[in-house]
Structure 1
Amino acid sequence: MNSRLEISDTLGRLHQVLRRAAARRNGAGLLPDAQIAVLRLVEGRPGIRVRDVAEALRAAPNTVSTLVGDLANAGLLARERAPENRRQVRLTLTGQARDRIDAYHAQRREVVADALDRLGPEARDRITAALPDLHRLAELIDAGPERETPAGPERETPAGPERETPAGPERETPAGPERETPAGPERETSAGREEGETPAGPEHGTPRPPRETGNGS
């Protein structure tokens, strides 16, 4: 059998048999579990509002209103208007409810003590050692399930093969033919000739003698 299921069934059965045995000893009729839950809540929080009872028990407000009405009619709950807001109703236990709850607790303790005595010392020690875990279990059950979404394993995007952009052929700007400035005819200045050389002009033949000026003779 599944251990978790077995724990749940055992705790549920223990609760039922304990209530029945305590009621038999007390001689009073059993109250429904829902009514007992309301009474125990009001016992711990005197003056609680009906709306707060519904929130604490996680029940519909109209359902809680019906339970409160039945307990009030049975003389177990007192309803009083809140002085700060007359529309709100505060709940407290009546004397009859307190007597009945006290008697129920006393009878339940007697039932458990009698069973533990018959169980044996070693078993009592094991149960006592488990009490801290049972208290913690009760707190977790009362708190309700966590609403957080469990974090799953981290999902990593698989790295694919590196994609390299293929390098195309290198594109070089074609070099055109070298453009040389055409060299014109060499222009030599007279200074470019051999130094001291008189430039040769056109030949004029033999120079004519100077002209004599006539003196009239």
Structure 2
Amino acid sequence: MPPKSPPSTGTDARLLTEAVTRLRRALRTSIRTDYPWEQLPVAQVELLQALADHSPVRIGDLAARQRLATSTVSGLVGQMMTAGLVARAVDPADRRASAVTLTDTGRAQLTAWAEAHERRLGAALDALPPADRTALRAALPALLRIAELLGDDDQD
């Protein structure tokens, strides 16, 4: 019997899309089941992550960085300000404009969110056979390169 040929790029892309989608859904569901305090929408978590890396930042710049409409980011920032996760202040680079910063509460919430996900993923990784853990570890650099090719690297 001849060796199987490797799957086509289209098949790889389809399988990777399915894996990423299912992984995100499983993480989102499991975190809310295991940690009922976690009610932070993913869009707000992504804004908190961006602010942790780039703060202070204007709403328009934050919207461009996240590839969202300015009005969408403005609404999310308003919700996050009400929750005490972010603050708006005068932009130090242009006193006529305002910039958003991450508050201590926002940083603590983001840290708790990340730690909870790391615990969930750590438990799942520990349940895998050693060969699967090794395969995942070997695939991580390629997955990070895919993220860069898809435009994640311009967010730094």
SS at match of 1:28: coil
Contact 2:58 2:98 in 1 (8 A): yes
Contact 1:51 1:61 in 2 (8 A): yes
> Structure 2 matches for 1:50-199, cutoff 5 A?
50-143=59-152
Distance across 2 between alignment mates of 1:121 and 1:36: 32
C-alpha spacing 1:47/1:123, structure 2 compared with 1 (3 Å): same
C-alpha spacing 1:129/1:84, structure 2 compared with 1 (3 Å): closer
Greater relative contact order (CA < 8 Å, ≥ 6 in sequence): 2
Contact 1:20 1:30 in 2 (8 A): no
Which residue in the other structure is 1:7 paired with? Answer: 16
Distance across 2 between alignment mates of 1:44 and 1:73: 21
Q: CA deviation at 1:18?
A: 1.4
Deviations 1:10-41 (Å, cap 9, x if unpaired)? 11111121133233333323322222221110
Deviations 1:51-101 (Å, cap 9, x if unpaired)? 110111122212211111111111111111124433311111112211211
Number of paired residues? 144
SS at match of 1:48: coil
Q: Name the Cα RMSD after superposition.
A: 1.9
More helix by share: 2
SS at match of 2:150: helix
Contact 1:79 1:91 in 2 (8 A): yes
Work out the percentage of aligned pairs sharing the same amino acid.
33
Provide TM-score, normalisation by structure 2. 0.83
Q: CA deviation at 1:143?
A: 4.8
Q: Which amino acid aligns with 1:135?
A: L
Which residue in the other structure is 2:6 paired with? Answer: none
